[in-house]
Amino acid sequence: MFSSLTQESDRVTHRAVVQFLVRSLLALLVVGLATFFLASRVASREALHDAEVRGEGFATGVAAPLVNQGLREGHPLAVRRFDRVMRNRLAVGTISHIKVFDTEGRVIWADQPELVGRQYQFPPSVQVRLGRDFTVAGNPPDESFQQGDDEADADMYEVYAGAHDADGQPVVLETYWSSGSIDSQYDFVLWRLAPLSLGALLLLLVAIVPLGLSLARRLGRSMRERDRMLQHAVRASELERRRIAQTLHDDVVQDLAGLAYLLPTVTKHAPDVAGGVPVRATLVEATDLVKQDIAKLRAIIADVYPPALDAEGLGPALQELAVWAGRDGVRVTVETHGVDKLDRWRSRLAYRVVREGLLNVVHHAGASEAHVTVRWARRTGLEVSVRDNGCGGAIVIPESDSGHVGLRILHDVVADLGGRLTLSAAPEGGTELQASVPHDRDQDDVENLVTT
């Protein structure tokens, strides 16, 4: 069995390592996606800021100084001069469209001549800044920014810039910047910020994985050592239980049994009264006491080391408990499901729960009937119930100093296995002792707890 425990420890260690690696990779993926998202937002803001800077520079440094009264009034010479500079700039390709407005929203000049002279309403973000130097950029452009402009490209950055012309009059320039000329800034920020963050996370993972593997190996060694110590304790406990049962059976019980056979022989020839003492009645009483003690010792032997449990299985052992309780006037019915698939250690646990439950029924419940149910399935685990029709009583597990240490110890054993032991009032009256232990990989060490 020790080899199976060692294999289980190795499986636990391997499972812990796999879970650690999987969770680390999931954490890296989540943090990486969050980092990329944040980096993308930062890059977008930087690209938009770059469009604002370019639009402001073009408006204040190139376009606004060329706007004068002649251009406002449409003088051909002023228009040709302004048109030539703007067309040259459009030919470069970084700017796709240009419009020049006065503060009333009238188009003074546009790269599309048919728009000149039209009146537009500025978007709210521009209206509140009219008459001052300002810059407002949008990505993608607001529909309100494009009123009447059917050729506006949604992939462009639109920039409104307020400036003062050559005569000191406020003007507003609307420029559309191609995304290709701005997205280089986006890519520059994104592909430097994101790899930096992800690289740091990868380095952290590389540093943590060896530490996790080392801890897992230590855990495996610790579990193997623990299993080895528990196995020695189990074997010692099992040998001691057998020795106690054998000593009681071969020595004490045999001597008392001989005394029980001898006393009736002596009683036949003893006087009724000797010196005023009722000799025969005393011998009869002593014989009865010896027989009672023999029955109690045999019950203790079966309790310490129930032979039917290992030899015949849990079902017959439970029937023996039912017969024992029946001698005290409690009719016990037993119902089992799937117990033939139980290993010996879970069988011992179920046996202990039923035995403790029937002991409480016989000595404390004042019941005439009891029903025992034991179920086992790998999906639900081990479920044990002892229900009686007695007077009820305490519905909590007593403390260890209350005189009912059996239930307290059993409660702790079941709890150590990840299960629950409850004592509650049954719906139809009486008391019900319930134990449930889920099937789990760690419960393959149930032997260590049940037999110690």
C-alpha separations of 15 from 77, 256, 418, 443 in Å: 84, 56, 19, 16
Tens digit of each residue's pLDDT (9 = 90 or more) over 244-303: 777 776 777 777 777 777 778 777 777 776 665 577 777 778 888 888 887 777 667 666
Rounded CA-CA distance 443/441 in Å is 5
3 state DSSP class of 119? strand
Domain spans in the chain, listed from the N-terminal domain onward: 1-224, 314-452
Residue 1 has pLDDT above 50, yes or no: no
Residue recorded with tokens 């009681």: 248
Residues found in the chain: 452
The pLDDT of residue 398 = 55
The pLDDT of residue 194 = 66
Rounded CA-CA distance 65/72 in Å is 13
Percent of the chain with pLDDT over 90: 7
The H or E element that residue 14 is part of is helix 2-58
The pLDDT of residue 106 = 92
Q: Which two tokens stand for residue 78?
A: 């002023």
**Domain at 1-224, CATH class:** alpha beta
CB atoms within 10 A of CB 326: 13
Tens digit of each residue's pLDDT (9 = 90 or more) over 32-82: 777 777 767 766 777 777 778 888 888 888 888 999 998 888 899 988 999
State pTM to two decimals: 0.41
**Domain at 314-452, CATH class:** alpha beta
Residue 207 has pLDDT above 70, yes or no: yes
